[in-house]
Amino acid sequence: MPLDIEEGRANNVPSDSTLVVKVSTSSTNVNATGRLDLPSGSVTQWSHGKIVNRTLRTQLTATGRHFARVTVIVPATTIQKATVEFSIEDGDGTTIRTFKPEFSGKTTGNDIYLGRAKWIVSVV
């Protein structure tokens, strides 16, 4: 499927928890970017260099719904895989929620495979 969207949610997340994002890819031919939409409407962009094979931590200070998205692009004509790892750590650094969708696809003809992980995090 050229567009693949996986959605998850984490409800009742305590304020001041930390959102952790990491993307693992099967090859250098996979691009990934993302964004975090805060309840206030402000947006934080995550570039490829910040999330691919790296762990990015963002503290969730506001209450309300946060939308975290990671979009994975496979421009290669051979199947490539990517795993998006979302998690929430509490104030002690303990993981209290996880969401780990996996994507697998390839570009066909003139179309691009696009996988998206969307995690809806409700902070209370």
| CA–CA dist 8, 68 (Å, integer) | 10
Kindly report the number of other CB atoms within 10 A of residue 16's CB atom. 11
Q: In whole angstroms, how close is the CB of 42 to other proteins at the nearest point?
A: 11
Q: In whole angstroms, how close is the CB of 87 to other proteins at the nearest point?
A: 19
> CB-wise, 64 or 91, nearer to other proteins?
64
| CA–CA dist 69, 21 (Å, integer) | 10
> CB-wise, 94 or 124, nearer to other proteins?
124
Strands (E), the chain: 3-13, 17-25, 31-37, 43-46, 56-60, 64-74, 80-89, 95-99, 102-105, 113-123
> CB-wise, 2 or 90, nearer to other proteins?
2
Q: Where along the sequence are the contacts to other proteins (CB under 8 A)?
A: 1-5, 7, 9, 11, 28-29, 31, 33, 35, 37, 41, 43, 45, 47-50, 52-54, 65, 67, 69, 71, 73, 75-76, 107, 109-112, 114, 116, 118, 120, 122
Q: How far is CA 27 from the centre of its chain?
A: 18
Q: In whole angstroms, how close is the CB of 117 to other proteins at the nearest point?
A: 11
